[in-house]
Amino acid sequence: MTIIYALIIFCLLIFVHELGHFIVAKACGVKVNEFAIGMGPAIFSKQKGETKYSIRIFPIGGYCAMEGEDEDSEEPRALNNQPAWQRACILAAGSVMNFITCVVLLIIIAFWMGTATTTIDQVTEGSPAERAGIVSGDTIVSIDGQEISEWDDLIQSIGYSKEKTAEITVERDGRQETLTAELEYDKEAGRNMIGITPTMEHSVGKSITGGIKNTGSMTVMMYQVLKQLFTGEVSVKELSGPVGIVYATSEAAKSGIMYVIYLAALLSLNLAIINMLPFPALDGGRLLFLVIRIFTGKRVSDETEGKIHFIGICLLFALMIYVTFNDVIRFIIPIF
């Protein structure tokens, strides 16, 4: 199942990425020679019009081969002969699709898991909440006079309070009642706990909001990690490649399908962000050359740019070999 999950994730994310390039390229009238999923020899191919569609034997990677992408072409519909804004849209489309995929997957997770409300579902037996008189069905209105509108507000007010007790106002059977609960610090959670769990609401609107919000938080986190990587706070040895992703998929699968979907969302956003870095061969590197050539004209030829991107691909493959070697040492060798 781990291998199946990993292959599904790999194929889905690459397919979505390349589909973004393909859709926008076709919309802009650019000639697409081949749309392929996977790498290596083709196990299936079909020519439809000017484009060949193929599935290749190794389910890692894929490509949308456009005319004039890495070479000079006299074809009027070649990528290199299109206006700069169209080329920019085509290059950015892959990462945009991966970003959208992340949002959609997180919305699905948010709807499946539900959104925590301020209404109490369960009260742990013998907990501070039970001793204070809080019962299932109570709705938290305020804590220490501060209005509570979301479950996160409750976590902040109770979880990180410096006080030993909290005045909790609840609504019960249409009337409000203020109760005093002791706060107990939970070392494992790293915050105060009183022993209550919320009821979960499965709302489409709140799930969409939650998915977008979680994508934003995840994006900020990834950029912080990239910053730490460039400043040396995070070692390159901590990067993972395909082997590490398969291992992470295995660990996620043990916890359930929702964790696998969350991992897919994380990897999709990772693919979107990494591809937009201004490095040769990546979409961000191609966008950088596009900007450079707006100001320099044809002084940087398509052939020269193609050679630089080829060097970039070689460097990326070297990095992949390095991180795969580290992954084998970290995840495979300890098993034996």
List the CATH number of the domain containing 167: 2.30.42.10
Q: Are residues 126 and 164 in the same domain?
A: yes
Q: Are residues 44 and 145 in the same domain?
A: no
Residue pLDDT, tens place only, 287-296: 998 888 888 8
- pTM above 0.85? no
Residue pLDDT, tens place only, 260-293: 899 999 999 999 999 999 998 899 998 998 888 8
As a whole number, mean pLDDT of residues 294-310 equals: 79
Catalytic residue among 18, 67, 69, 305: 18
* Range of weakest confidence among 123-127, 299-303, 311-315: 299-303
Q: Are residues 127 and 166 in the same domain?
A: yes
Q: For this structure, is 18 an active site residue?
A: yes
As a whole number, mean pLDDT of residues 25-32 equals: 94
Residue pLDDT, tens place only, 122-167: 999 999 999 999 999 999 999 998 899 888 889 989 988 888 999 9
Q: Are residues 188 and 244 in the same domain?
A: no
Q: Which of 201, 230, 254 is the last residue of a domain?
A: 201
Task: Give the pLDDT of residue 335.
Answer: 64
Q: Are residues 197 and 100 in the same domain?
A: no
3-state secondary structure the chain: CHHHHHHHHHHHHHHHHHHHHHHHHHHCCCCEEEEEEEEEEEEEEEEECCEEEEEEEEEEEEEEEECCCCCCCCCCCCHHHCCHHHHHHHHHHHHHHHHHHHHHHHHHHHHHHCEEEEEEEEECCCCHHHHHCCCCCCEEEEECCEECCCHHHHHHHHHCCCCCEEEEEEEECCEEEEEEEECEEECCCCEEECCEEEEEECCHHHHHHHHHHHHHHHHHHHHHHHHHHHHCCCCHHHCCCHHHHHHHHHHHHHHCHHHHHHHHHHHHHHHHHHHCCCCCCCHHHHHHHHHHHHHHHHHCCHHHHHHHHHHHHHHHHHHHHHHHHHHHHHHHHHHC
Q: Are residues 101 and 159 in the same domain?
A: no
**Residue 61: is its pLDDT beyond 80?**
no
Q: Are residues 140 and 26 in the same domain?
A: no
274 located within any domain = yes
273 located within any domain = yes
Q: Are residues 27 and 76 in the same domain?
A: yes
Q: Quote the domain boundaries for residue 9.
A: 2-112+214-307
Residue pLDDT, tens place only, 174-222: 899 999 999 998 888 889 999 999 999 898 998 999 899 999 999 999 9
Q: Are residues 223 and 161 in the same domain?
A: no
Q: Are residues 20 and 37 in the same domain?
A: yes
Residue pLDDT, tens place only, 65-104: 999 887 778 889 998 889 999 999 999 999 999 999 999 9
85 located within any domain = yes
207 located within any domain = no
Q: Are residues 285 and 163 in the same domain?
A: no
Averaged pLDDT of the chain? 88
Instruction: Count structural domains, the chain.
Output: 2
Task: Give the pLDDT of residue 336.
Answer: 61
Q: Are residues 107 and 130 in the same domain?
A: no
